[in-house]
Amino acid sequence: MAECHPVGFQWVMEARLRGATVVHVDPRFTRTSAMSDLHVPLRAGSDIAFLGGLIRYVLENDKYFREYVLAYTNASTIVSEDFRDTEDLDGVFSGLDPRNRSYDFHSWRYEGADVSAPSGLQEQQFEERAETREAARGEAHGSGGADVSAEPLRIRTDETLQHPRCVFQILRRHFARYTPETVERICGVPQETFAKVCELITENSGRERTTAFVYSVGWTQHTVGVQYIRTASILQALLGNMGRPGGGILALRGHASIQGSTDIPTLFNLLPGYLPMPHAHRNQDLETYIRAESARKGYWSNMRTYLVSLLKAWWGDAATEDNDFCFDNLPRLTGNHGTYETVLAQLDGICKGYFLLGENPAVGSANARLQRLGMANLDWLVVRDFSLIESATWWKDGPEIETGELRTEEIGTEVFFLPAAAHTEKSGSFTNTQRLLQWHRQAVEPTGDARSDLWFAHELGRRIRARLADPAYRERHGLDDPEMDRPVLDLTWDYPTEGRYGEPDAEAVLAEINGRDAEGRPLSTYLELKPDGSTSCGCWIYCGVYADGVNQADRRRPGSEQDWVAAEWGWAWPLNRRILYNRASADPSGRPWSERKAYLRWDESQRRWVGPDVPDFNATTPPDYEPPPGATGPEALSGTDAFIMQADGKAWLYAPSGLVDGPLPAHYEPQESPFTNLLYGQQRNPVRSLPPPGRDYFQPSDGERGAEVFPYVATTYRLTEHHTAGGMSRWLPYLSELQPEFFCEVSPELARERGLEHLGWATIVSARNAIEARVLVTERMKPLEVQGRRLHQIGLPYHWGPNGYSTGDAANELAHISLDPNVHIQEVKALACDIRPGRRPRGPALRDLVNEYRRRAGIDEQTGRQM
């Protein structure tokens, strides 16, 4: 965090000065480790075993917050008798279809309930699921809103937590094998160190104290990345650390607005506000979608309200009840359209054109060589960036030109490079880790041909619309079906512009996102949205950011002039709420768990909840409220249903729906691992996403012939001096002076073992490619004892490529594209590899080296594809 998020880390340091204990769990000793009370090195890819051990400690030693767990989690809920755990099936859950690498989730349901499909699969129940089996399946509801369809009285519970099929007992059995001895053997963490972590976390959790977890892509970029966070959420819910000040799980973002780019998404399977993108089915209309995606209980029951208001924001007067508010205008998913699937579509000649806006896959995505080969098979490519990044120049100076795999004169891709404006040259918002929108204003006009992304999108749309509306153009190009173009022509596109370049007014876009009522007045809360088309809103969770016609994200009241919650600095979605699920900050009767950790409380005299934050529920719902029979929507939430976006109002220790790889986390080894899974016979995530054979090559894991060829583990990471794939930093001379070359971090012991010299060269090899790096011999890379063997790990910063002032090979050349099946993210934090002294070969000899490694390891198209 100190290295990659130094601005945020200042608050960690302030907390430490006030007595907070900082524990840093990381394979490397970093700047964060240096400022922590305890650094715990562990094997990359083993975090579920580590966290699972913590959960076992909490359960076996009665360290869980019992009152909190009973009131606010599903611990007492009884699960279907059809469910079988990894304990019963040696590492897989009931419902596994080995042939199709997928789970039938019905046996995971609560007893007495029908559970909706994992978010994104729900609509497929209306047609044959096989038609779109590989369609996007994760993230569609964001906060676990997949439905649990049953009346509360039908879902059986056991408040004693003794029923063998209640979630609490399932949890105990599931994590029983995650002993300190097992944690040590899998993670390489000594038992005494692990015991110290257990004590620190549990002693700092309960009524009087809370513990926070902070993570970033070190957790997400795995084939079980989503389950990493699920494991942490189970632990935090057991300890009572969710919805309370000083608690929670904080996802640090690697860019100023990564959170914003999922809220108003650049993701293929979501509409703004985490609404699921519809699938392509016959006879599908708005009502079919609403029935499929709405929950019976809680705020996801208002799906129609959110979607209709979005459609009105996009198509205005053209969206009417008679035409389903233009629901048919929305694109439809026909499968997985993620970034890696798109590359495969390029190679297959299906994807013909590609826009890259602030992305540099030629060095920044896994298996970078495959990315470049895909782009070489396009008809056209548009790159918008500050500098001539590698994704704009691969066709003339990329690695495949040097190896002879590509010839510039034979590449048919037409590449357009359009310079982009920097954040100082445009106005707009950043949405960060805290869901906090902060407005920034333009400081200077962009120079030359540089323009903002907002200008580009607006201008492109304006020109396309003008051509489609021109009869002469339509006749010239044979466009004889005007209805086909109505979705584009009917878009609301009347944004005011300003400045010499005609820059769209960014605040006008924010106002559209905020939403308006039937008279055009700004809305103040998503509770004002209507399902009848009388309101418009570009993103329901952002409703209120332009309340009263004022840009709430532009507020900058100093902290010294307000309370510690600082509600007048920027605006946090939803409704400027700073802690989600904050009903859990008080006990079931409405009293704070302790005065030391007081946040919200029920004020009987006012008949409402009071405190420094906006209540994350109806502010006038008393703690003892019980919904009447047949209640639906928010009215179906009781006064103790703190987790309002969950279908049952509870924090899910066990997920009966919403995930495609299991209702509980289980430790699986990475796609490529020097070690066998000690916990189960199942080595890898059985439903991980794999490309077709021949597109990517995988290495054997421990126990398979040839695994010894790749005995080390590499992990990628960021540096303070560079940013992501380097497009924003490698062209800056000051930063390039600070970090001038790509390097690898190795321990002195590994350096001796492999003959590596400090500041000399090393070649790192995988089944995909080989790269060279300067050698940094450092004690920060500590060897670990794992399964009775000495493990060396190699640190690889991923900022480099051949362009710019600071140049070097890209770490992502080594990576494969075996993906997490929920969100389709790559596994680049735990890669098996080899390292050898000296520089890599040049020209065709580079591919010869990689092929020789494949031959030695016995790698073919089927290696590593076992379920």
Label each residue of 126-193 as H, E or C.
HCCHHHHCCCCCCCCCCCCCCCEECCCCCCCECCCCCCCCEHHHHHHHHHCCCCHHHHHHHHCCCHHH
Backbone CA torsion sign across 245, 246, 251, 256? positive
Q: Is the peptide bond before 574 cis (omega within 30 degrees of 0)?
A: yes
d(CA 91, CA 854): 29
d(CA 251, CA 291): 32
What is the average pLDDT value for the chain, to the nearest integer? 93
Q: Among 440, 420, 437, 444, which residue's Cα sits nearest to residue 428? A: 440
Residues 701 and 673 sit within 8 Å (Cβ to Cβ): yes
pLDDT at residue 597, as a whole number: 95
* pLDDT > 90: percent of the chain: 87
- Look at residue 113 and tell me whether its pLDDT is greater than 50: yes
pLDDT at residue 119, as a whole number: 40
Query: What are 271's two structure tokens?
Result: 């509409």
C-beta atoms surrounding 589 within 10 Å: 13
- Look at residue 419 and tell me whether its pLDDT is greater than 70: yes
- What average pLDDT does range 812-834 have in this prediction? 96
pLDDT at residue 140, as a whole number: 46
d(CA 303, CA 293): 7
pLDDT band at 115 (very low <50, low <70, confident <90, very high): low
- Looking at the chain, the domain(s) classified CATH 3.40.50.740 span 339-489
Q: Is 687 exposed, middle or buried (0-12, 13-18, 19+ CB in 10 A)?
A: buried
Q: For 645-680, how does the pLDDT look when each residue is reduced to its tens digit (9 = 90+)?
A: 988 999 999 999 889 999 999 999 999 999 999 999
SS3 671: coil
d(CA 198, CA 383): 49
pLDDT at residue 153, as a whole number: 53
Backbone angles phi, psi at 197, to 5 degrees: -65, -45
Helices 390-397 and 368-375, axial angle in degrees (round to 10): 80
Q: Among 351, 350, 269, 364, which residue's Cα sits nearest to residue 824? A: 269
Question: Where is average pLDDT lowest: 281-295, 526-540, 691-705, 837-851?
Answer: 281-295
114 strand-pairing partners: 149
SS3 437: strand
* 677 DSSP assignment: -
Q: For 346-366, how does the pLDDT look when each residue is reduced to its tens digit (9 = 90+)?
A: 999 999 999 999 899 999 999
Residues 455 and 444 sit within 8 Å (Cβ to Cβ): no
User: Which amino acid belongs to residue 519?
Assistant: E
Residues 863 and 768 sit within 8 Å (Cβ to Cβ): no
Q: For 275-299, how does the pLDDT look when each residue is reduced to its tens digit (9 = 90+)?
A: 999 988 755 899 999 988 888 888 9
Query: What are 470's two structure tokens?
Result: 């021109």
330 strand-pairing partners: none
Residues written for the chain? 867
Query: What are 725's two structure tokens?
Result: 């794939």
Q: For 689-715, how does the pLDDT look when each residue is reduced to its tens digit (9 = 90+)?
A: 999 999 999 999 999 999 999 999 999
- What average pLDDT does range 21-46 have in this prediction? 96
Question: Where is average pLDDT lowest: 145-149, 154-158, 436-440?
Answer: 145-149
Fold classification of 339-489 (topology level): Rossmann fold (3.40.50)
320 strand-pairing partners: none
* 110 DSSP assignment: B
Query: What are 815's two structure tokens?
Result: 């990576």
Q: What is the dihedral of CA 854, 860, 862, 865, to 10 degrees?
A: 0
Question: Which helix (H) or strand (E) is 774 found in, with range?
Answer: strand 770-777
Q: For 548-568, how does the pLDDT look when each residue is reduced to its tens digit (9 = 90+)?
A: 999 999 999 999 999 999 999
* CB proximity list for 442: less than 8 A, separation 6 or greater: 424, 425, 426, 427
* pLDDT > 70: percent of the chain: 95
* CB proximity list for 333: less than 8 A, separation 6 or greater: 132, 135, 136, 268, 269, 277, 278, 279, 280
pLDDT band at 261 (very low <50, low <70, confident <90, very high): confident
pLDDT band at 151 (very low <50, low <70, confident <90, very high): low
734 or 137, greater pLDDT: 734
Q: Is 325 exposed, middle or buried (0-12, 13-18, 19+ CB in 10 A)?
A: buried
- Look at residue 75 and tell me whether its pLDDT is greater than 50: yes
DSSP string, 241-297: -SSSTT-SEEE--SSTTHHHHHHTT-STTEETTTEEPPB--TT--HHHHHHHH--SB
pLDDT at residue 653, as a whole number: 98
pLDDT band at 128 (very low <50, low <70, confident <90, very high): very low
pLDDT at residue 591, as a whole number: 98
d(CA 371, CA 360): 10
Query: What are 594's two structure tokens?
Result: 């302790």
Q: Where do we find the tokens 């990894």?
A: 86
- What average pLDDT does range 366-387 have in this prediction? 97
Q: Is 656 exposed, middle or buried (0-12, 13-18, 19+ CB in 10 A)?
A: buried
Q: For 180-216, how does the pLDDT look when each residue is reduced to its tens digit (9 = 90+)?
A: 999 999 999 999 999 999 999 999 999 999 999 999 9
- Looking at the chain, the domain(s) classified CATH 2.40.40.20 span 707-857
* 440 DSSP assignment: E
Residues 224 and 685 sit within 8 Å (Cβ to Cβ): yes
Q: What is the pTM of this model?
A: 0.94
Query: What are 73's two structure tokens?
Result: 């989690």
Q: Where do we find the tokens 């879902």?
A: 155
Q: For 605-623, how does the pLDDT look when each residue is reduced to its tens digit (9 = 90+)?
A: 999 999 999 999 999 999 9
- What average pLDDT does range 678-693 have in this prediction? 96
Residue range 707-857, CATH number: 2.40.40.20
Q: Is 131 exposed, middle or buried (0-12, 13-18, 19+ CB in 10 A)?
A: middle
C-beta atoms surrounding 107 within 10 Å: 18
- Look at residue 628 and tell me whether its pLDDT is greater than 70: yes
d(CA 570, CA 429): 10
CA angle, 844 then 847 then 852, to 5°: 125
C-beta atoms surrounding 515 within 10 Å: 30
* CB proximity list for 508: less than 8 A, separation 6 or greater: 495, 496
- Look at residue 129 and tell me whether its pLDDT is greater than 50: no
- Look at residue 139 and tell me whether its pLDDT is greater than 50: no
